[in-house]
Structure 1
Amino acid sequence: MTAVCALFPGQGSQSVGMGRDLCASFAEAAAVFDEAGDVLGLDVRELCWRSSPAVLAATENAQPALLTCSVAAWRALGTGGVTAAAAAGHSVGALGALVVAGCLGFGDAVALSRLRGELMAAAPGEGAMCAVLLSPSMPRERVAELAEDCGVDLAADNSARQVVYSGDRERMRDFSSRLGARAKALDVSHAFHSRLMKPAEEDWRAAVDRVAVRPPRIPVGLISRGVFGTDPAAVRADLVASLCAPVRWREVMAAAGTRPRVALGPARSLAGMERGAHATAPVRAADTSAAVRAALAALRPQADPHINDRADRQGSWA
C-alpha cells in the first residue's frame, strides 16, 4: 500500500467542468458532490460544471467548489489503496488536508470553506494581488524591500521562483510598476492573505472555534508557519491565522520529505511548481479519471487490476 503526501490547491485553479469526469467514473467522487450539495443547500454539480467562469470564480463559490473537487479526487485515488502519510493545502486547500488527516469531517470543512469565501469576499476596500517572478537580478530580498516601501504584504511564498504580494489597489499598482514585467496581476476581487483581511478575522475565528478539530492522524502542513504538525491546537491556530498571514508553501514543501506527492483536483499548476522545485519527490496530478488511473499505476504497480473495469461500469453521475 502506497502512502503519499496529498496536496490540495487554493483559489485560482478552478475551471468550469472540474470534477465531472471523476464523478462519471467513480461513485466515491460522486458521493462527495452529493454531500457538499446537502451541506451547502446548492447544486454543486451545476456550480462546477455549468456555471459561467465568472460565477465559479466568485470567492464564495470557488472555495467550496475547489474543496469538493479535490476531496472527490482523493476519494477516487483511495479506491486503489493509496493512503496519506502527510497532507498540505495551499490557502483554502488546507481544509482538504485536514479532511484527509481526520481533523475535520468533510461536511464541516465544506461549510467552513463557503463561510471563509463569504467573509473574504465581504472584506472592505479595493485590493489587488500579483505574482512575482524571482531571479538573481531580482531576488526575494529585493522584492521584499520594494513591498515594504510600497506598503503591501507577502501573500504567498510559493517556490524558489515565485512569490505573491497583496494589498490596497493603488499601492499594488505602484509596487507592480516598480517590478515591471516580473509582476503578473492576478484576477482576484480582494487582497487575500494580507492586512486587508483583518476585518473578517474575528468572525472566521468564531466559526473555527465552533467546529471540533480532532488530532490529526498524519502530519499536516501548517501553512502560516511553514512546518508540519500534529497538535490539534496548532492546527486550529493555523486555520485562523492563515486568513491574513502569508502561505509559506515553499517551507512546507521543503519539510514534506521525499514521499511521492499527489496534487488533487484542479491542481496542475501546483503540480508543475512542485516538479520544478523537488526533482527527488515526484508529483502527480489527480484531476481526471485518466490521471487517477495513471497515478495508481505509477504509485502502486500491484493495484487492483479491476479498477478500470469497475470505474467504467459505474457510468455517468452528471
Structure 2
Amino acid sequence: MTTTKMAFLFPGQGAQAIGMGRQLAASHDVARHLFEEVNDALSEDLFALMQNGPEDVLRLTRNAQPALFAASMAAVRVLETEIGKPLTAVATYVAGHSLGEYAALAAAGSLGIADAAQLLRQRGDAMQAAVADGDGAMAAILGADEAQIDAILTEASAKGLVQIANDNAPGQIVISGMTDAVDAAIDIAKDAGIRRAIKLPVSAPFHCDLMAPAADTMQSALGSVSMFDSIVPVICNVSAAAETDADMLRANLITQICSRVRWRETLMLLGQSEITHFIELGTGKVLSGLVKRTLEDVSIANLDGTDDLDKVLSQF
C-alpha cells in the first residue's frame, strides 16, 4: 500500500461535454461495463447521449448529473484496473463537488452504482422542478472575499432571497437565489469595484433555500436506499468535515440541496491533513484548477481519458 497521502476528487455539474467517457470506454472493458450498468439502472441509453448529444439535452440537469457520475465512476474502474487494487486501498480521503459527492460515496463503498444513478436522476428532476423557469438565477463573483460577499448579499436581499451557493476557492464565490436579487447583487458588486460578477447559464438556483422542495424529495428517495459506512473518509460539502458514518453521509446529502458547497474549506482541510497528491476523476479539470488556486506545493492530475493515464499512474 502506498504511503503517499492522496485525495480523489469528483467534479460537479457544468463539466459535462459531448464525448465524455469515450476514450475510457473504448480502451477498457471495465469502463464500458460501468456505462452499461448506468444505462440499465436508468432504463435508457444515457451513454449514447453522452457521446452524440445534442448538447442542450445533455446539459439538462436530469441528464448531466447521472452522466457526470457515470464518467467519474468509469475513471475509478479504469484506475483500479491499472493499479491492481481498489481505490479505497490508496485513498486517504475522497470528496466530490455537489453531485460529485455521490461519486465520492460510490468510490468509497458507501453507495451502489445503480442506486446512485437513480438518485441523481431524481435529484436532477427535483432540483429543476423546485423553482419556476426564470424565477431563480446564479452568478459568479470573482475577486471578492466572503465578508464582501456577505455585505453585498445583505443589501441585495431587499429584492428577495439570495445566498452563497458555492465557496469554490479564494476569490471565487457563486451566489444563488431569486432572479431580481441575484441581478441586484451583480450590480452592487460592480458598483463596489469587484473584479467580475457574471450571471451563469444554469437552469435553476441550486444550493439555496429555494431548493427546499427538492430536499424533501431527496429525503424520501435517500430513505429508501441502502447506504453503508464509507471505507475511507468522505469530506462532505455541507460541513467540510470528514465523515464515514452512513447515517451522517445520508443526512448530509439531503442538507446539501439547500446548503452552500464548502469547497474552499474542503481543500483547506485536505491541505492541513498533509495531502500531497490530488487526482480528479471524471470529465474536465475544473476541480484541478481550484486546487491550484487554493493550495501550494501539491501534485495534481486528472483522469478524463486515456491520454491522462501516464501522468495519473506516475502519482503512485
Give the TM-score normalised by the residue count of structure 1: 0.90
Deviation >3 Å, runs of 4+ = none
- The aligned runs of 1:1-318 (5 Å cut-off) are 1-2=1-2, 4-81=6-83, 83-125=90-132, 126-134=135-143, 138-151=144-157, 152-180=162-190, 182-256=196-270, 257=273, 258-296=275-313, 298-300=314-316
Between the aligned partners of 1:16 and 1:106, the Cα distance in structure 2 is 22
| Number of matched pairs | 296
Give the 3-state SS of the residue equivalent to 2:94 in structure 1: strand
RMSD across aligned positions (CA): 1.3
> Could you tell me which amino acid in structure 2 is paired with residue 178 of structure 1?
I
1:259 to partner: Cα distance: 3.5
Between the aligned partners of 2:115 and 2:149, the Cα distance in structure 1 is 38
CA contact (8 A) 1:128 1:190 kept: yes
1:279 to partner: Cα distance: 2.0
1:228 to partner: Cα distance: 1.2
1:84 to partner: Cα distance: 2.2
CA contact (8 A) 1:275 1:282 kept: no
CA contact (8 A) 2:153 2:185 kept: yes
Residue ranges of structure 1 left out of the alignment (5+ in a row) = 301-318
Give the TM-score normalised by the residue count of structure 2: 0.90
1:99 to partner: Cα distance: 0.5
Between the aligned partners of 1:96 and 1:174, the Cα distance in structure 2 is 35
Deviations 1:12-46, CA, capped at 9 Å, x for gaps:
11111111011111111111100000000111221
Give the 3-state SS of the residue equivalent to 1:68 in structure 2: helix
Between the aligned partners of 2:118 and 2:96, the Cα distance in structure 1 is 17
> Could you tell me which amino acid in structure 2 is paired with residue 158 of structure 1?
N
